[in-house]
Structure 1
Amino acid sequence: MNNAPAQPSKSLFGAGLLAALAASLCCITPLLAVVGGLGGAASSFAWLEPYRLYLVALTVAVLGFAWYRHLRPAPAADCCAVPAKRPIMQSTGFLASVTVLAALQLAFPYYGAKLYPTARSSAPVATATGAAPIWQTRTYRIQGMTCEACAHHVEQAVQQVPGVQFVVVSYDQATAQVCYNSAQAQAAQVESAINSTGYHVQNPTR
């Protein structure tokens, strides 16, 4: 008779990974949008941000229960029983791999910004008429950003606007400070670039 303890089921592994992924989708999506050129998709999962702590707790609870089932002492074995060989998906190594993957997903908001392409610096560009650039600095309030990855996505979009010298986006303050040559770019173009990311400009201020 085989008295091997019950092992964590595949449904537990799947639930843990899905909860971890959902907890960080709001920050993973902006990076995928930059890599895949899907601009407006960046904010698709921003609505999950208020539930992030609950999803993190769910991930920890599910994986904790899986480890408990995996490590709890086995009942006394029959002296004549032949120990059953565990399937790969019920091994300690597999459970450890799932746990590490879930941890990487949960921690993504803290390291995701480092995965973005290096921001290019814009040198002053003369206009077609040779006129000196007319620099203007404008601050935009942005709604919908949930982490530093979102801020980097906005920076990448604004830097594509001709005439923009530099842009600094703050996730904490929910603002973007943009310096641009008004002979080449207009405030509406910068606002449009921000809105194209899926985040939205509130009333812009000087």
Structure 2
Amino acid sequence: MNKETNSFVGAGVLSAVAASLCCITPVLAFISGASGVASTFSWMEPARPYLICITFLVLGFAWYQKLKPRTAEVIKCDCEENDKEPIMQTKTFLGSVTVFAALMLSFPHYAHIFYPTNNNKEVIIVNAANIQTVTFDVKGMTCSGCASHVENHVNKLPGIVKVVAIYEEGTAKVEFDQSKVSLAEIETAINGTGYTITKTK
């Protein structure tokens, strides 16, 4: 690979990371404890298909440049200089970059594994009449990682029986004991993730 091809490899990595920023950020926010920044890059979600296409195109071109037969003239000129290729110009490096890009592009599909499952926590219900179920319309969730982030944050509150966030629908359904936690506290917890409640029903 020459310098031009290396530039394409770098562009491929950047576009792959950019395509997944909207889902990587919630995980980083969860790990660092900075929940409020989880939705920082949710605005990039509409551009994701285009960034994926760019990644495939530039890495595909890099592989084409690497695998295409070299002309006799190029071989004659470069044979002495390329007895030993620099690591960044090898197929191994390009392969590693391609695998990394694939992991980044597929990140939204496995982002939820970074969050603990605590929907099964034990909640002692003293009076069943206190149990209430509310559905929130939540703006900003773009992948399963976003939904898991909301679920995890709400589950930290006392009296939460069950919470299910569905990013495709933009909803979070919460079952809770209103004698232990208020609706306002749940709303604050969801908004505290960086996503925004637009409607409560």
**Structure 1 equivalent of residue 95 of structure 2:** 96
* Corresponding position: 1:55 with 2:54: no
Answer whether contact 1:119 1:156 (CA < 8 A) is retained: yes
From the superposition, tell whether residues 140 and 80 of structure 1 become closer, same or farther in structure 2 (CA, over 3 Å): closer
- From the superposition, tell whether residues 167 and 80 of structure 1 become closer, same or farther in structure 2 (CA, over 3 Å): closer
Tell me the residue number matched to 1:78: 76
What is the rounded CA distance, in whole Å, between the counterparts of 1:8 and 1:142 in structure 2?
A: 44
| Deviation of the 1:12 alpha carbon | 2.0
Within the alignment, does 1:68 sit opposite 2:67 as a pair? no
Residue of structure 2 in register with 1:123 after alignment: 122
Match of 1:107 in 2: 106
Q: What is the SS of the residue equivalent to 2:76?
A: coil
Residue of structure 2 equivalent to 1:132? 127
Structure 2 CA distance for aligned equivalents of residues 140 and 6 of structure 1: 53
Number of the residue aligned with 1:180: 176
Residue 68 and residue 81 in structure 1: after superposition, are their counterparts in 2 closer, same or farther (change >3 A)? closer
Sort the Cα spacing of 1:38 and 1:123 in 2 relative to 1 into closer, same or farther, 3 A: same
For the residues of structure 2 that align with 1:71 and 1:55, how far apart are their CA atoms?
24
Local SS of the residue matching 1:203: strand
1:75/1:190 Cα in 2 relative to 1: closer, same or farther (>3 Å)?
A: same
TM-score, normalised via structure 2 length:
0.91
Range with bigger deviation, 44-53 or 73-82: 73-82
Question: Structure 1 counterpart of 2:199, which letter?
Answer: N
Match for residue 168 of structure 1 among 164, 170, 174: 164
Structure 1 residue 31: deviation in Å? 1.2
Asked whether the 8 Å contact 1:16–1:102 carries over to 2, the reply is: yes
SS of the aligned residue for 1:183 comes to coil
Name the SS of the counterpart of 2:164 in structure 1. Answer: strand
Q: RMSD over aligned Cα, in angstroms?
A: 2.0
Flag the structure with higher helix content: 2
Instruction: Work out whether residues 163 and 182 of structure 1, in 8 Å CA contact, stay in contact via their aligned partners in 2.
Output: yes
Residue ranges of structure 1 left out of the alignment (5+ in a row): none
Q: How many angstroms does 1:170 deviate by?
A: 1.2
Give the corresponding residue for 2:11. Answer: 15
Aligned identity (percent) is 46
Deviations 1:180-202 (A, max 9, x none): 11111111110110000010111
Distance 1:31 1:86, change over 3 A: same
Q: Higher mean Cα deviation, 42-51 or 27-36?
A: 27-36
Higher CA-based Rg:
1
For residue 24 of structure 1, report the CA deviation from its aligned partner: 0.6
1:78 aligns to what SS in structure 2? helix
Pairs aligned (count): 197
Corresponding residue for 1:28?
24
State the distance in 2 between where 1:167 and 1:39 align: 17
The one-letter amino acid paired with 1:96 is: G
- Structure 1 residue matching 2:70: 3-state secondary structure: coil
